Structure 1
Amino acid sequence: MTAPASAPARVRVIRLLRVRDGMEAEFVRSYQDVRAGAERFPGHLGEQLCRSLDDPAQWLLTSEWADLDAIGRWRTADAHRNLVEPMNACLHDDRWTGVFQVKEMAAR
């Protein structure tokens, strides 16, 4: 008997962004377009957008994906490239992105 294949590991993408002064409304509008596209993409599990209380120019964007392949397909899709252009135009260049594996913890 062979062991069952393990489920692919979920991943979370974390983006730390700085929005240009006066472009906050345009950033949020363009992010909503990106989110709507991602929500229709296979493997997308959720999104969250947060704004810093300490530094209102700083924003945190998180998305969760079924696995690393799903986020890879989204990042290379034509739809993604077209949707993120207007959002990225609202941002300073000092942005950071990290991809993390979601660790499932056993119940205690």
Structure 2
Amino acid sequence: MISVGLYYRVKRGHEEEFERMFNEVLNFLRENVDGFINAKLYRSVDDPSEYLIYSEWRDLESFKRFIMSREYKETITYGRTILEDKPKHRIFQEIGV
């Protein structure tokens, strides 16, 4: 399993729109994307325009397939209209201890 942290800074006044879009994408992922496990949205307590999406995937290949998909690219294109800057992504892999 891998976890992906996606960090976003949303333009002021677009926070509700970003949250609504997250829920739409989450529903799409749950219904259509093989290898997607779950995701949660977090907002910074210090800056309400900063968000973290924490997502879990079966494996790195599943996540890579999604980020190469048309749906992901459409979401990114739309996101440019409401984001302050390019999002940052960090991928972590679960290790057995």
State the alpha-carbon separation in 1 of the partners of residues 86 and 80 from structure 2. Answer: 11
Aligned residue-pair number: 96
Residue 45 in 1 paired to residue 37 in 2?
Answer: yes
Which structure's CA Rg is the greater one? 1
Equivalent in the alignment of 1:12? 3
Equivalent in the alignment of 2:66? 74
SS state of the match for residue 45, structure 2?
Answer: coil
TM-score normalized by the length of structure 1: 0.79
Unmatched segments (≥5 aa) in structure 2:
none
Percentage of identical aligned residues: 28
TM-score normalized by the length of structure 2: 0.87
* Runs of 4+ residues deviating >3 angstroms: none
Output the aligned Cα RMSD: 1.5
Residues 73-104 of structure 1 show CA distances to partners (whole Å, capped at 9, x for unaligned) of 10011122223433342211153111110223
Unmatched segments (≥5 aa) in structure 1:
1-9
